[in-house]
Structure 1
Amino acid sequence: MCGRFTLTVSEEEWVNFFYVQSVNLRFEPRYNIAPGQQIAAIIADDEGRRRAGPLRWGLVPSWAVDEKIGYKMINARAETIHEKRSFREPLVRKRCLIPADGFYEWKKTPDGKQPLRIMLKSRPLFAMAGIYDTWTSPDGKVLHTCSIITTAPNEFMAEIHDRMPVILPREAESAWLDRDLQSIPELLSLLKSYPAEDMQAYPVHPQVGNVANDTPACIEEYKVPDNDAGGDGEQLTLF
């Protein structure tokens, strides 16, 4: 799954990187983005212009009875996304890019789970494939929500977790946003595991497990205590 990520750069940096032409959100760098929160997302309008705005992480389908369903739908599996009622129409008609510069995952170790921040080697920013929908409550409240698509792990991520977010190659970003592209086989062909050789990770402090912690300290490299030696600790080297 993908349950936490970061976007720590300035608004100008990610807006320019993803060729966004219109921004409609108040942005601040984020160090521990969690489900249920408002996140930055990018869509394309009918003319192909890219627009950025806020979506709540956790998809609430337009037909849902209760918005609480969103807490169970933070991710959509690439393998079955076209089969699920909640995801099929958004896959065809409501796709978005979720900008990020890293995501967190917890690796099992003999001493428990160690959180890692995972990034790309070749570029500072990347787009996760997302879908979105709009839900209106009986009292007229409108919610715009999204899910991040996940897929099977590549060789790098398999050592950490059994799922990973779909990170789109640069050349696939425009296709994912293209409203004229509605062929399910073509869309599914974009939902691949990102190349393992371009990924890297480093340990971070367990404080990222608490959603209340959203500070630069969350992304600092963490020296895991060396319990066997009883010393001051040593740098964990994983990859």
Structure 2
Amino acid sequence: MCGRYASFREAQELADAFDVEEIAEEAAAVHPSFNVAPTDRVRVVLERSDGHVRQMHSARWGLVPAFADDPSIGVRMINARIETVAEKSAFAKSLRARRCILPADGYYEWRKEPDGSKTPHFIHRADAAPLAFAGLYAFWRDPSKDDSDPARWLLSTTILTQPARSQLAGIHDREPVVLRGDAVAPWLDPSVTAPEEALAAIGAERPQLQFHRVGPRVGNVRVDTPDLIEPVD
């Protein structure tokens, strides 16, 4: 799974990296973080069907489907398994029409040791470029808010995961789906609406990732400092 990641580059740098044409005000206001946790506000890049303009928005991490009674369900939906995403009612509509990427600088995963303890690792691209997590987004209408209230709509997101590749399987059995640069546009293309075509757009190749062990402080969501990603002996 992917339950914690780092995204500390500024909005404009990410916009340049992913050919974003419009940065929403709330996306620009998202604070860089070395310890992004579920329910945090995160940046997402998407293309709307009206004009195919690539935009950056802010979304809550943990997808809240339109049929949800309240947003608390999103805590259980920070990830969507690529093997079953087309079959799950919470994700199927988003797979057809609401795909996005979540820019990141790397993510954390915990390796279970023989003694039962867990060792955190920071996983990132070997070339230091930003990651593009394949994601989905959804809009949820808050019934407690008036129609004239702009806050009545909650934009939320989830990260697709897949079985871990060989070099990462020693840390965890799952990994986020990280797109290559040439897969971003096909994945975001709003004219692609068939689930099988959307998943095919991801492609089979992934960017080369590398990892190193980091300190245990990353396990505390209240800690958000640059040293969290530094290697430890």
Q: What TM-score, normalized to structure 2?
A: 0.90
Residue ranges of structure 2 left out of the alignment (5+ in a row): 146-151
Please say which of residues 39-48 and 107-116 is displaced more in the overlay. Answer: 107-116
Q: For residue 11 of structure 1, report the CA deviation from its aligned partner.
A: 2.5
1:134 is matched with 139
Distance of 1:123 and 1:100 partners within structure 2: 11
1:35 is matched with 38
Match of 1:89 among 87, 90, 93: 93
**Partner deviation per Cα, 1:148-206 (whole Å, 9 max, x = no partner):** 1101111111111011000011111001110001121121224466548x111011110
Distance of 1:33 and 1:53 partners within structure 2: 16
Distance of 1:192 and 1:157 partners within structure 2: 19
Amino acid in the other structure paired with 2:139: T
Residue ranges of structure 1 left out of the alignment (5+ in a row): 224-239
Q: Work out the percentage of aligned pairs sharing the same amino acid.
A: 38
2:129 is matched with 124
Alignment RMSD: 1.5
1:173 is matched with 184
Match of 2:52 among 30, 48, 52: 48
Q: For 2:92, what is the secondary structure of its paired residue?
A: helix
Aligned residues: 222
Distance of 2:154 and 2:195 partners within structure 1: 26
Q: For residue 10 of structure 1, report the CA deviation from its aligned partner.
A: 2.6
Distance of 1:193 and 1:2 partners within structure 2: 19
Q: Judge conservation of contact 2:183–2:202 (CA < 8 Å) in 1.
A: no
Q: For 1:48, what is the secondary structure of its paired residue?
A: coil
Q: Which structure's CA Rg is the greater one?
A: 1
The answer to whether residue 202 in structure 2 is matched with residue 199 in structure 1 is: no
Q: For 1:13, what is the secondary structure of its paired residue?
A: helix
Q: What TM-score, normalized to structure 1?
A: 0.88
2:7 is matched with 7
